[in-house]
């Protein structure tokens, strides 16, 4: 759940309760406030928050975000040789963006909700691989929302990996994007301590933790 958006939706409804009975007025207010084009029938605040959050993230990743893979030491191009050395049967690139590792990492499948260069254009929780993978790469993808959402996504990815498999992460320690379009994105405030606590909760081990530029890099072993 994006608590930034939920709080603003609650504020709008509190200030203008008539919008609850006029969906057109409500959508106009939502589109004007969050700079998105949304047309859904209101059922409840949680459903509306999720719809707005998805629209905001879609706009961000299709119009604003650009890959910076060469910027990072641990989660950059060096990951190609490291993963290929494992001779994996299946690698999942969760949040693959422009699918830049396709053709470079063997047996890689790219998953991304917002980029049509992905092999599967689905969000993290919707994607179900046909078999468990040896490796997952999550570079910048499990970064958005509250702790509950982060843990659900982590749990899902761990479930997609074989026993003995690895998950490579690059995460954001809560730094916002400078673009004004990112105003309503809730960037999760990752810390080394949380990465370790989450690993313990998911019954995996965490290793190879490093600061990677302005991000945090680490590996989960299942």
Report pLDDT for 185. 93
Cα–Cα distance, 133 to 157 (Å, whole number): 10
Asked if 127 contacts 159 with a C-beta cutoff of 8 angstroms, the reply is no
Does 121 share its domain with 197?
yes
Does 140 share its domain with 48?
no
Greatest CA span in the chain, whole angstroms?
61
Does 122 share its domain with 202?
yes
Output the pTM of the full model.
Answer: 0.91
Structure tokens at 2: 């994006």
Write down which residue in 14, 34, 64 finishes a domain: 64
Report pLDDT for 47. 93
Which ranges of the chain would DSSP assign to H, the alpha helix?
3-15, 23-34, 45-59, 78-84, 147-159, 192-201
User: For residue range 127-184, what is the model confidence (pLDDT) as tens digits?
Assistant: 999 999 999 999 999 999 999 999 999 999 999 999 999 999 999 998 888 888 789 9
CA atoms within 13 A on the CB side of 56: 27
Cα–Cα distance, 179 to 10 (Å, whole number): 25
Does 141 share its domain with 209?
yes
Residue 179: which domain range?
A: 69-221
Report pLDDT for 48. 93
Report pLDDT for 136. 98
Report pLDDT for 191. 97
Report pLDDT for 40. 85
Does 186 share its domain with 111?
yes
Report pLDDT for 64. 84
Asked if 206 contacts 191 with a C-beta cutoff of 8 angstroms, the reply is no
Report pLDDT for 1. 87
CB-count exposure of residue 209 (10 Å: 0-12, 13-18, 19+): middle
Write down which residue in 20, 48, 64 finishes a domain: 64
Q: Which residues of the chain have pLDDT under 70?
A: none
CA triple 139-96-127, angle to 5 deg: 105
């Amino acid at each position: 759940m994006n608590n930034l958006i939920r709080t603003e939706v609650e504020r709008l409804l509190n200030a203008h309760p008539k919008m609850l009975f006029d969906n057109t007025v409500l959508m106009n207010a939502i589109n004007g406030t969050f700079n998105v084009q949304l047309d859904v029938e209101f059922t409840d605040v949680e459903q509306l928050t999720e719809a707005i959050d998805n629209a905001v993230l879609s706009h961000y990743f299709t119009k604003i975000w650009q890959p910076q893979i060469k910027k990072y030491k641990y989660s950059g191009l060096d990951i190609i040789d490291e993963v290929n050395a494992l001779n994996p049967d299946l690698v999942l690139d969760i949040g693959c963006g422009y699918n830049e590792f396709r053709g470079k990492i063997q047996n890689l499948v790219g998953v991304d909700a917002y980029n049509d260069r992905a092999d599967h254009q689905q969000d993290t929780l919707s994607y179900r691989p046909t078999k468990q993978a040896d490796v997952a790469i999550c570079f910048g993808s499990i970064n958005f929302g509250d702790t509950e959402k982060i843990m659900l996504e982590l749990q899902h990815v761990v479930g997609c990996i074989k026993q003995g498999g690895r998950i490579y992460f690059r995460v954001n320690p809560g730094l916002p994007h400078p673009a004004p379009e990112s105003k309503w994105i809730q960037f999760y405030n990752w810390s080394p301590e949380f990465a370790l606590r989450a690993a313990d909760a998911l019954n995996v081990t965490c290793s190879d933790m490093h600061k990677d530029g302005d991000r945090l890099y680490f590996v989960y072993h299942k």
